[in-house]
């Protein structure tokens, strides 16, 4: 009986998250209430509060659902024991691009984050969590690039800070553009080539080098 109750609770939680995706995507985050999500999920508001503290907690859980599959790849990408950090970067980016194209949950949540979310209040928990996530990405990018330097894949003179900013901007720009106009280019094929071009740029561009190792 306890197992059935737990499974039913998990099923309800997933239904709420699915509904949140749909409503946030249709109405935008700021215009969506928990009552809207409850109606779409065909549950009571009490059921939502049983699983989530508030709207920000629901939003974060929705985002985490697509980030968790990336966790293993991200860990491998920044692991100091990895002998091929740039190869891990290529693998991670290709997975991200393919999931964005083929996985409707990933596609919808990224579109919400990029195009349907108004970050206007610095005290908003959703704003704060996205800022934290961006900082995590920056730290991971720097670890990746530092590991690649340690493995001799990138020059010791590389400006890791600039290269990290460039990587984040590149991936964010590709996702933003493709989600807005998916017919403009092939995210999987063209995106993979652009990541290769980024790596080649790190090897040859003088403006991305520091004065000394």
Residue-wise burial string across 79-113, b where 16 or more C-beta atoms lie within 10 A, e elsewhere: eeebeebbebbeebbbebbebbeeeeebbbbbbbb
DSSP 158: B
Share of the chain above pLDDT 70, in %: 97
**Is there a single domain that holds both residue 115 and residue 201?**
yes
Q: What is the pLDDT of residues 69-101, one digit of tens each?
A: 777 777 777 788 889 999 999 999 999 999 999
What pTM, to 2 d.p., does this model score? 0.87
- Cβ distance 15 to 43 under 8 Å? yes
Domain span including residue 79: 66-208
Query: What is the number of domains present in the chain?
Result: 2
Q: How confident is the model at residue 29 (pLDDT cuts 50, 70, 90)?
A: very high
- The answer to whether residue 149 is domain-embedded is yes
Q: How confident is the model at residue 130 (pLDDT cuts 50, 70, 90)?
A: confident
- The answer to whether residue 60 is domain-embedded is no
**Is there a single domain that holds both residue 34 and residue 130?**
no
Q: What pLDDT is recorded for position 213? A: 46
């Amino acid at each position: 009986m306890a197992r059935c109750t737990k499974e039913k609770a998990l099923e309800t939680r997933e239904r709420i998250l699915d509904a949140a995706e749909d409503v946030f995507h249709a109405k935008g985050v700021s215009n969506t209430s928990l009552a809207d999500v409850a109606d779409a999920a065909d549950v009571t508001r009490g059921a939502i509060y049983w699983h989530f503290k508030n709207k920000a907690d629901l939003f974060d859980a929705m985002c985490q659902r697509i980030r968790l599959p990336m966790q293993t790849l991200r860990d491998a990408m920044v692991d100091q024991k990895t002998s091929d950090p740039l190869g891990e970067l290529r693998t991670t980016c290709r997975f991200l691009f393919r999931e964005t194209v083929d996985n409707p949950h990933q596609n919808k949540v990224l579109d919400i984050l990029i195009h349907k979310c108004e970050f206007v209040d610095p005290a908003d928990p959703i704003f704060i969590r996205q800022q934290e996530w961006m900082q995590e990405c920056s730290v991971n990018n720097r670890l990746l690039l530092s590991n690649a330097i340690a493995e001799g894949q990138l020059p010791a003179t590389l400006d890791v800070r600039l290269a990290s900013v460039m990587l984040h901007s590149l991936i964010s720009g590709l996702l933003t553009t493709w989600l807005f106009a998916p017919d403009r280019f092939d995210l999987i094929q063209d995106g993979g080539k652009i990541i290769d071009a980024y790596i080649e740029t790190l090897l040859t561009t003088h403006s991305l080098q520091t004065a000394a190792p």
